[in-house]
């Protein structure tokens, strides 16, 4: 069933686990990820990123598929915008039927980010749409000038997170404490105490979100969930593993066969990979 993000994040925080938020930039990923959530029996957030829209399939094509599969799913599924930086992109997603939006204005100065997100929250909540914002800098990948040390300068300040959450009324806030997007050039080292401090400082109704979850070792992921993360974004390593799997399929048992059969095998691979991820996110619950 199609769901709003707020209730699933509240249940996750109360229960000591977290909800996976996974990019689904094509039909095989939509099918594999939702099937995984059904088999593990957990709610899930599937999302479409503005960068994937710019470089690949448009929300007008993949969005209705995401919504349709969400409605038919046996578990609650939130269909969410990932890093919507342009209002026009966010509106296109809402028109496609999305139930939740990450409105990412983290590139703007603090007060401008806050006032624009606040205005958007008032608009979105009137339509029953949940909102995530971002504070800090999470848009860069390690290896692109950032190291374990220099990334510390981008970490979210707990007092500022509290101020942002209280004044904007946002439902969830993506914060920075050691993760980055994409493939890690060196293994990340998370500041777990910072997650605890942010969680303690923010109003309870605003949930803590971790991006860049793929590529982080399992112990640090469990520690981040226990410290207060209730939404965890995950995609890059899944996308990369799926590419490698497709290479092996096409060189191996599907060489010379029809590609739609190989695609079905790919859906199974994505499902199995995602089941492992979602089982980890249950945090032993």
Q: Which of residues 212-241 bind Zn ion (CB under 5 A)?
A: 233
The closest of 85, 101, 77, 92 to 19, measured between CA atoms, is: 77
x/- letters, 157..196, toward Zn ion (CB under 5 A):
----------------------------------------
Give the three-class secondary structure for 89: helix
Looking up tokens 């038919």, which residue turns up?
72
Is 163 catalytic? The answer is no
Give the three-class secondary structure for 194: helix
Nearer to Zn ion, 48 or 211 (CB): 211
Q: Considering CB under 5 A, how many residues would be counted as binding Zn ion? A: 2
Nearer to Zn ion, 130 or 233 (CB): 233
Bridge partner list, 79? 46
Closest separation between CB of residue 213 and Zn ion, Å?
9
Give the three-class secondary structure for 212: coil
CA 150/CA 133 separation, integer angstroms: 23
Closest separation between CB of residue 236 and Zn ion, Å?
10
Nearer to Zn ion, 92 or 211 (CB): 211
User: What are the φ and ψ backbone dihedral angles of 44, each rounded to 5 degrees?
Assistant: -145, 155
Closest separation between CB of residue 175 and Zn ion, Å?
11
Q: Which helix (H) or strand (E) holds 185?
A: none
Nearer to Zn ion, 100 or 233 (CB): 233
Rule CB under 5 A: is residue 275 a binding residue for Zn ion? no
Q: Which contacts of 195-200 are long-range, i.e. CB under 8 A and separated by 24 or more positions?
A: 195/224, 195/227, 195/228, 195/229, 196/227, 196/228, 197/158, 198/156, 198/158, 198/161, 198/162, 198/228, 199/227, 199/228, 200/158, 200/228
Q: Which stretch binds Zn ion (CB under 5 A): 17-25, 156-164, 210-218, 266-274?
A: 210-218
Rule CB under 5 A: is residue 211 a binding residue for Zn ion? yes
Closest separation between CB of residue 199 and Zn ion, Å?
19
Q: Which helix (H) or strand (E) holds 207?
A: strand 207-210
Closest separation between CB of residue 156 and Zn ion, Å?
14
Are 93 and 101 in contact by the 8 Å Cβ rule? The answer is: yes
Q: Which stretch binds Zn ion (CB under 5 A): 6-14, 40-48, 118-126, 211-219?
A: 211-219
Query: Which of these is catalytic: 14, 47, 53, 82?
Result: 82
Nearer to Zn ion, 234 or 254 (CB): 234
The DSSP call for residue 247 is H
Residues identified as active-site: 82
Binding site for Zn ion (CB under 5 A): 211, 233
């Amino acid at each position: 069933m199609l769901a709003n993000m707020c209730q699933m994040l509240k249940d996750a925080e109360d229960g000591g686990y977290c909800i996976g938020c996974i990019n689904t930039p094509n039909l095989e990923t939509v099918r594999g990820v939702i099937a995984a959530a059904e088999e593990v029996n957990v709610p899930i957030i599937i999302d479409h990123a503005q960068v994937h829209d710019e470089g690949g399939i448009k929300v007008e094509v993949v969005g209705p598929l995401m919504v349709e599969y969400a409605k038919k799913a046996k578990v609650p599924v939130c269909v969410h915008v990932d890093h919507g930086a342009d209002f026009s992109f966010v509106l296109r997603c809402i028109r496609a039927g999305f139930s939740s939006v990450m409105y990412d204005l983290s590139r703007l100065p603090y007060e401008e980010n806050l006032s624009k997100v606040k205005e958007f929250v008032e608009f979105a909540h009137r339509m029953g749409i949940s909102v995530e914002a971002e504070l800090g800098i999470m848009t860069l990948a390690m290896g692109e000038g950032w190291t374990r040390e220099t990334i510390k300068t981008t970490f979210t300040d707990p007092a500022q997170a509290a101020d942002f959450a209280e004044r904007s009324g946002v439902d969830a806030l993506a914060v920075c404490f050691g993760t980055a997007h994409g493939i890690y050039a060196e293994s990340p080292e998370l500041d777990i105490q910072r997650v605890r401090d942010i969680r303690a400082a923010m109003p309870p109704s605003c949930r803590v979100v971790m991006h860049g979850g793929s590529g982080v070792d399992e112990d640090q992921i469990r520690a981040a969930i226990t410290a207060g993360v209730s939404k965890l974004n995950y995609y890059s390593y899944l996308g990369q593993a799926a590419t490698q799997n497709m290479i092996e399929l096409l060189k191996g048992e599907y060489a010379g066969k029809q590609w739609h059969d190989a695609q079905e095998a790919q859906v199974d691979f994505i499902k199995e990979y995602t089941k492992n991820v979602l089982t980890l996110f249950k945090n032993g619950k």
